[in-house]
Amino acid sequence: MIPVDDLIGLVRAYNPKSDQALIRKAYEFGKAAHEGQTRHSGEPYFSHPVEVARILAEQRLDDSTIITALLHDTIEDTGASYEVVAEQFGAEIADLVDGVTKLTNLQLSSTETKQAENFRKLFIAMSRDLRVILVKLADRLHNMRTIRAVKPEKQAQKSRETMDIYAPLAGRMGMQWMREELEDLAFKVLNPEGRASIMRRFITLQNETDDVIERITNDMKSELANAQIDAQIIGRAKKPYSIWRKMQEKELAFSRLSDIYGFRIVAHSEADCYRILGVIHQRWRAIPGRFKDYISQPKTNGYRSIHTTVSGRDGKRVEVQIRTQQMHDVAESGVAAHWSYRDGVRAENPFAVDPVKWISSLSEQFDAEDDHDAFLEVVKLEMYSDQVFCFSPKGDVIKLPRGATPLDFAYAIHTRIGDACVGAKIDHMRVPLWTRIRNGQSVEIITAEGQHPQPTWLDIAVTGKAKSAIRRALREIDRERFIRLGREIARSAFESIGKKATDKVLENAARKLRLQDGDEVLARLGSAEVESRSVVRAVFPELVKKENAEQVSAERAVIGLTSDQHFRRGECCQPLPGERIVGLTFRGKGVDVHKIDCDTLAKFEDQPERWLDLQWQDGKHPAIYAVTLDLTIGNDAGVLGRICTLIGEEKANISNLEFLDRKPDYYRLLIDVDVRDAEHLHSIMSALSAENDIASVERHVELARGQRDAKTDLVEP
């Protein structure tokens, strides 16, 4: 544990005007508060807050952050209260300490808490004061450095949490050095054999090639000296986890990896950066597609640098990053550079991002997403994405993740532009909406009144903002239709177990499924986002049929018949398992089965002796029940093929197809589809409804195509 004078000396080295007395007071306060407490290693517990403070001092952070580090466990683990800390050190520091305490108590690794909820809580904490997360990251870094002292199961739990949450968060904040160290420390716990293998191969490679880094560094120094450019050159091998991840992503053996060495050149001016780039490219061959200019197009977290990859000695690829000292400070500290000091004054770094603007822009779109799983998707897209830079027709720079499409560009400008998008031009050429945008391209969006987002856009869009806006618009457009469809699905599903889908039942299902209300349950049922089985199981788990239920015999699929009676489905209404049914007897010991709401039944109201109360057998029915669908589709190439593919993907067979009407712009046709039950049919109709070129899809219930008249066939016995 470093003495208080050493810590103060470390702070005063970059900030001579720091409040030495207040830091000393916090040191003594924390030491006294943690008196008698020890860590798992047996060391005094206060050694941990001191090391956290040292990590933050190495980032040249302000006094309040250093003092918060010294006190960050006092409210949680000692008798000190918020009021005591506020009285001794002021409200600002007390709020910071309280924020770190609440963040620590989130139980981010709890199996009962969804990862999406963890991220949401993190962003709420960050939005109040970003220094809270800076202290927490430093706290996690020191805990990971000393993790060998805790139990193996705790090591694995904390390492997974670090890999999933804290490491990517550090990277997103621009603190790349911390991300790499956190990943490597977690990698050492989660996959010690893999890391040891990388290290062994590294040592072997160094023995075979001598010191490659030193030789390439000397080559670069010589070239820059010849060009009369003064700059600092830093060379290093990439971290084991970074190499392991690249091996997994590219499915390459270690021997085939090339760019495992990186070099950083820190210049005196921006002009020198571009001069150095010219020198590097003149001396070594540049690798196509590996050049990125983050000086002219900085990242959202303020990062600026020129990246290029060249073929160095012996054909080995090396990555080179070129930047100024100010850019380097931001690259090392990220968003934390906003609070850093240099030469005794708060650093006025023009490249440091305002943390308030940064976190508000990052969390704005997350707030609009009320679905936990969709929120997690948005977070991961934003946390792990690289960027491309393109231009609007007016010359404005738009930053997007790599792989973004014109749809992402449209929604980045404004949600209204995205919703009304009908086409796009890239560099004045008309392109499909799924085209991937490349760096430096000019993008123009074509809009039209009355246009609405299409379901297929979800597969085209890349950014979280675009996907959230599209989902929201689709839900609003289709909500009423989906609610009506969902109500029918729910009615059928609950009646199959002898229950009714009342409002109270649906509200109960919404609570169990963590949805807003009963209407949301119905909407998700209708849009096939939730299965009816899941809804029924949420309310009546003991009544739901087991997944391994036996196959129902086609001959005995209906309950309520005598042993000598056989049934046939009414072709007028085509009833399906899962729907309420009634039987009508006819000559020859046969029974016609109809849906309870079939119009044919009205013709036999005066013959109650012929009615039978029937129901479908529980279990899995074979896909043998034909249902006729009435479709109106666009007259375009490939539409009918897509329809057949969609039905096939739903594990259904097409037994007949008939065109009713052919027009220049649309066709109307009837398709007979063999299905298992009502739920299977609804899944097929939902899939077809989502297809852009299908204007309408309905269940066909009229007597058609020479089918017999029910009245003439259903004669009295």
What pLDDT digit, counting tens, does each position of 116-125 carry?
Answer: 555 555 666 5
If one compares 528 and 454, the residue with the highest pLDDT of the two is 454
Regarding beta strands 590-595 and 566-569, do their DSSP bridges make them parallel or antiparallel, or are they unpaired? parallel
pLDDT exceeds 50 at position 661: yes
| More confident site: 384 or 304 | 304
Which residues pair with residue 661 across a beta bridge?
668
Q: Is residue 547's pLDDT more than 50?
A: no
Average pLDDT over residues 409-423: 91
Report yes or no: 617 and 559 within 8 Å, Cβ to Cβ: yes
Dist CA 347 CA 329 (whole Å) = 10
Phi-psi map region of 619: left, alpha, beta (phi>0 left; psi -120 to 50 alpha): left
- Going by C-alpha positions, the residue among 473, 469, 465, 474 that lies closest to residue 378 is 465
Distant-in-sequence, close-in-space partners of 648: CB < 8 Å, separation ≥ 6: none
pLDDT band with cut points at 50, 70 and 90 for residue 629 = very high
pLDDT value of position 361: 57
Tokens of 646: 């969609």
3-state secondary structure of 34: coil
- Residue 77 annotated in active site: yes
pLDDT at res. 524: 82
- The angle, 0 to 180 degrees and rounded to 10, between the axes of the packed helices 115-128 and 131-145 is 120
156-173 per-residue burial string, b: 16 or more CB within 10 A, e: under 16: ebbbebbbbbbbbbbbbb
pLDDT of residue 224: 93
Is the pLDDT confidence value at 98 over 70? Answer: yes
For range 658-683, the mean pLDDT? 87
User: How far lies 201's CA from each of 190, 193, 607, 711, in Å?
Assistant: 19, 12, 88, 84
What confidence score (pLDDT) does residue 548 get?
Answer: 46
pLDDT tens for each residue of 56-70? 988 888 899 999 999
Q: Which residue has the tokens 């190499």?
A: 243
pLDDT, tens digit, for every residue of 103-141? 776 555 444 344 555 555 566 655 567 788 889 899 999
**pLDDT (mean) for 447-471:** 86
Between the alpha carbon of residue 406 and those of residues 400, 420, 456, 587, the distances in Å are 10, 12, 14, 66
Percent of the chain exceeding pLDDT 70 equals 81
Given 28, 58, 76, 531, the catalytic residue: 76
- The lowest-confidence range among 97-111, 169-183, 444-458, 626-640 is 97-111
Of the ranges 76-80, 137-141, 219-223, which one carries the lowest mean pLDDT score? 76-80
Q: Which residue has the higher pLDDT, 596 or 66?
A: 66
For the ranges 42-46, 164-168, 236-240, the maximum mean pLDDT occurs at 42-46
Tokens representing residue 526 in the block:
């209708």
pLDDT at 314 (0 to 100): 62
Among 50-64, 386-400, 429-443, 521-535, which is the least confidently predicted range? 386-400
pLDDT tens track for 258-296:
557 789 999 999 999 999 999 999 998 888 777 888 888
- The whole-angstrom separation of Cα 698 and Cα 351 is 58
Per the annotation, the verdict on 531 as an active-site residue is no
Q: Enter the tokens of residue 202.
A: 């590294």
Average pLDDT taken over every residue of the chain: 80
Take residue 366 and report the two structure tokens written for it: 């997350």
Predicted confidence (pLDDT) per residue in 551-567, tens digit: 787 877 888 887 778 88
Percent of the chain with pLDDT over 90: 18
Note the maximum CA span of the chain: 110
Query: If you count them, how many residues does the chain have?
Result: 717
Q: Is 194 exposed, middle or buried (0-12, 13-18, 19+ CB in 10 A)?
A: middle
Say if residues 694 and 632 touch (Cβ distance below 8 Å): yes
Contacts of 289 (CB under 8 A, 6+ apart): none
Reading the block at residue 674, the tokens are 């063999």
Does residue 6 or residue 287 have the better pLDDT? 6
**705 pLDDT band (50/70/90 cuts)?**
very low
pLDDT band of 203, cuts 50, 70, 90:
confident
What pLDDT is attached to residue 714?
37
User: What local confidence, expressed as pLDDT, does residue 69 receive?
Assistant: 92
DSSP 3-state of 531 = coil
Comparing 166-175, 227-236, 414-423, which segment has the lowest mean pLDDT? 166-175
Contact 532, 489 (CB under 8 A): yes
Of these residues, 5, 19, 43, 77, which one is catalytic? 77
pTM of the model: 0.51
Residue 424 Rama label (left phi>0; alpha psi -120 to 50; beta): beta
Most confident stretch, 26-35, 454-463, 614-623: 26-35
Domains of the chain as residue ranges with CATH: 4-190 (1.10.3210.10), 194-346 (3.30.460.10), 472-539 (no CATH), 556-717 (3.30.70.260)
Which range, of 35-39, 91-95, 603-607, averages the lowest pLDDT? 603-607
pLDDT given for residue 223 in this prediction: 92
pLDDT tens digits for range 565-589: 888 898 889 999 888 899 988 876 6
DSSP letter assigned to residue 165? I
Mean pLDDT for 486-491 is: 88
One-letter amino acid of 602: A
Q: What is the mean pLDDT of residues 355-384?
A: 52
Q: Does the pLDDT value for residue 248 go beyond 60?
A: yes
Half-sphere exposure of 549 (CA within 13 A, CB side): 13
130: nearest Cα among 340, 302, 347, 339: 339
What tokens were used for 636?
Answer: 């375009």
Closest CA to 420 of 386, 456, 445: 445
Dig out the tokens for 91 from the structure.
């409200």
